[in-house]
Structure 1
Amino acid sequence: MSYRRSYAPPTSEHPNVTLLRDGYTAFAKGDIDFIRTLLADHVVHRVPGHGPLCGDYSTPEEVLGFYVRLFELSGGTFRTEPYAVLADDDHGVALVQTYAERPGKVLDGRAVDIFALSGGRITEIRTLAEDQYADDAFWS
């Protein structure tokens, strides 16, 4: 006797996938107020590397300030566009394409944003650049 299981994909996406997609849409529009609603009071955004923007941003205000700084240093050209977003109740991952320009420099690469989620809010973000050396050089 053979048992076959058929796989039926879910008919709707997980609410945390929607939350993350909405966050990237707000980021693209510069909607800092909406992004603030997604961040837990004890959020931390960890940015590894050795460039001037690397480090831990440990409050919603610091995280939002980091985002503003990305736009300032790139003359408003910085963007990050997700091409895949996955999430469950506690974790999320976004594969993103990043782009920015600075005088004599262009950043055009991929990164992974890893999220910890709790109660419909983001508690942690880790951004991992595909080429950390190029990322560090661009922002330096």
Structure 2
Amino acid sequence: MIKKLPSAIDRLNPSPREDWSFTFLGGNLEREALPTYGADDRDLGEAASLELSVMPLAKAQVGDRLCIVSLRGNPHTIQHLHHMGFCPGAEVQIISRSLNGSVVVTIGDTRLGLGARMSQQVMVSTPL
């Protein structure tokens, strides 16, 4: 019987986990996310009065549990984020974050990945 030798990828990740799967949101919507509609200083006024620190999701750290405050971007981007579960009031937890700001988060039982530009469009409060 021939024994298969582990590949370089197998050695880096010797026990792949099924629960590592997630949906990634990026691509063309990222390019469309540049204009900002829907979130300005007035939208953040209520959060500021509660002395919450509001920041883009891209600035969060791994392990942070945050509350979505608002979404920025063009109407199509905001609608797509809503359909993915990124809604004001929803709780997210940061699972992974790259240096450029791309993140993998959990919302409920769902894991989602956002590219750096898209994660800049999701405004969150300080850790819960």
What range describes the TM-score normalised by the shorter chain of this pair? under 0.3
Q: TM-score, normalised by structure 1?
A: 0.25
Which structure would you say has the larger RCO, counting Cα contacts within 8 Å and 6 or more residues apart? Answer: 2
Q: TM-score, normalised by structure 2?
A: 0.27
